[in-house]
Structure 1
Amino acid sequence: MNDYIINRSIRLIKKYKTRNPFEIAANMNIDVLFMDLGKLKGFYKRDGHNRFIIINDQIYEPLQRIVCAHELGHDQLHRHIAENHTLQEFAIYDMKSKPEYEANLFAAELLFSTKDVLEYFDQGYNFYETACFLKTDVHMLAVKLMIMNSNGYQLNIPVDLKSDFLR
């Protein structure tokens, strides 16, 4: 696992004292806009010194949160790519593309503390119930468990991270 990516996420959480990607974006002067994007979930765009996260207003709120965190990952990790290209998200869980994989790691670490995840498992909740309580998609929870397993935990991940899940 790339410690650099995880540490970038942790630094933002500590600096802004929140895991809320919308609050973090606002504190970083990144404009978050909502509009109907059809099948597109969202995108990150940089125009000079102006940075934008555009989120599809037709997707449900928990997914908007995931998309925002994912696009924050692009801002923190791939701003240089966005200088010439818009980073568009049709499938959030594209684990084959290096920038998408990295943005997913960033988002999973930003959104969920290891402590919170473990509390649900310790209370006897299964993977799917834990995802429900965390108000997240099972694939984003699977990414968080991947991170936790790379840090020595031995948690079962019952879903396959397919790149076309959110298409």
Structure 2
Amino acid sequence: MDINPLIRRLLRKYKTNCPFELAGALNKEIWYRDLGENTRSMFRKTLRRKYIVIHSGLSEEWQRVICAHELAHALLHPGISRFWIDEHTFFRVGKYEREANQFAVRLLTVNVFFEPGESISDLFLRNNIPNELSEFYI
């Protein structure tokens, strides 16, 4: 699925690219829980209710990115409950994880433009996006 039209529809309808605001507008509850050392988040669907669970021990920067990532699972992979398992690398992710990462980066950088001489790392730093996700910048 091409994620750009989906993001454009979300922006047009909700006038925001904030993943927390979008989750609320789309009736996805956000819970903050201690998920342990290796799990950052999960998207869960239980009895028609949809939850994004974010590890409470993460920085605000990572919580924002992970909310966008899990929102992608909710929108792109609605029948699947997925865990974002931290393997200390983002290089061996499956198709669903790659799509969710691309969606998150695209959502958080929509309408963001490079300054003269700015690198992707600089752009990410300026927009509070962890540099580890730079490979998913479209």
TM class, shorter-length: 0.7 to 0.9
Deviation at 1:57, TM superposition (A): 0.9
From the CA coordinates, give the structure whose radius of gyration is larger. Answer: 1
Structure number having the greater helix percentage: 1
CA contact (8 A) 1:13 1:110 kept: no
Q: What per-residue deviation string (whole Å, max 9, x for no partner) do you get for residues 15-53 of structure 1? A: 111010000000111100111111210100001210000
Distance change (3 Å), C-alpha of 1:11 and 1:93: farther
Higher strand share: 2
TM-score, normalised with respect to structure 1: 0.74
Which residues of 2 match residues 32-111 of structure 1 at below 5 A? 32-39=30-37, 40-82=39-81, 87-91=82-86, 93=90, 96-111=93-108
Query: 5+ unaligned residues in a row in structure 1: which ranges?
Result: 148-167
Deviation sequence 1:101-143 (CA, Å, 0-9, x none)? 1111111111112x4132x3x2x23332222111111132331
Of 40-49 and 93-102, more deviation after overlay is shown by: 93-102
Could you tell me how far apart the structure 2 residues matched to 1:24 and 1:65 are?
Answer: 12
Percent of aligned pairs sharing the same letter: 30
- Runs of 4+ in structure 1 off by over 4 angstroms are none
Supply the RMSD in Å over aligned alpha carbons.
1.8
Task: Say whether the 8 Å CA contact 1:45–1:51 is kept in structure 2.
Answer: yes
Q: Unaligned regions of 5+ residues in structure 2, if any?
A: none
1:76-120 Cα deviation digits (max 9, x unpaired): 0111123xxxx111238365411111111111111112x4132x3
